[in-house]
Chain A
Amino acid sequence: SAVISQKPSRDICQRGTSLTIQCQVDSQVTMMFWYRQQPGQSLTLIATANQGSEATYESGFVIDKFPISRPNLTFSTLTVSNMSPEDSSIYLCSVERNTEAFFGQGTRLTVV
């Protein structure tokens, strides 16, 4: 298995501000993934983060809105920029190990 720690676990933010979410893994992994779960919806992949290269974004997500850093093989951050109420969601980081994906506990973001 993999132990994944996310910070913060929840936050309430003002519209127009930015929030950076941190994800720490207990061992080195090649790829880390960021997902979003909007209220009542499924989990949607935002981007894949590889160490030493730019993140790869899925359709509908852009780097200006969701910049990602991956400074080493155990850590990544996702920033939600210029937030609006529509960004209120649970944000989850994930890592792949063997043939499974493991998830952090998520960051519940409310934008007011």
Chain B
Amino acid sequence: DQQVKQNSPSLSVQEGRISILNCDYTTSMFDYFLWYKKYPAEGPTFLISISSIKDKNEDGRFTVFLNKSAKHLSLHIVPSQPGDSAVYFCAASPHPGSYGKLTFGQGTILTVHP
């Protein structure tokens, strides 16, 4: 039973445009949500996070939106750059719990075309 779901396996975007990656979760026990980026042959690297007490968090080109009633979050990348091409994972942490004990979605492959 997949508790964190990324229903789009891939996304293709033109450079300079907005990339929107989506993530759904099934249980209210999750309290903290994170996005990771992963390049081949590397471990995931942290991008941005959001606590369940917020509905938006921004960091430069990256913004994460959280809709608790819909159990949905999204990552917006504006403007998208070719270097953003990677696999993006949504992850969730339980409450109370450890920020290292994460449940991950399946990942979305983002390709940004020049």
Contact = CB atoms under 8 A, between A and B. Distances in A.
Interface residues of A, number: 25
A9 B41 CA distance: 9
Nearest to A6: B43
Contact of A4 (B4, B32, B43, B103): B43
Given A31-B100, A43-B104, A100 B34 contact: yes
Contacts of B36: 103
A87 interface: no
19 contacts: A9-B41, A33-B100, A33-B101, A42-B2, A42-B105, A42-B107, A43-B89, A45-B101, A94-B100, A96-B98, A99-B49, A100-B99, A101-B34, A101-B99, A101-B100, A101-B102, A103-B45, A105-B43, A106-B43
Given A43-B91, A43-B104, A101-B99, 13 more contacts: A9-B41, A42-B104, A42-B107, A43-B89, A44-B104, A48-B100, A92-B43, A96-B99, A99-B99, A100-B34, A101-B34, A104-B43, A105-B43
User: 3 tightest A-B contacts by CB?
Assistant: A96-B100, A103-B43, A43-B104
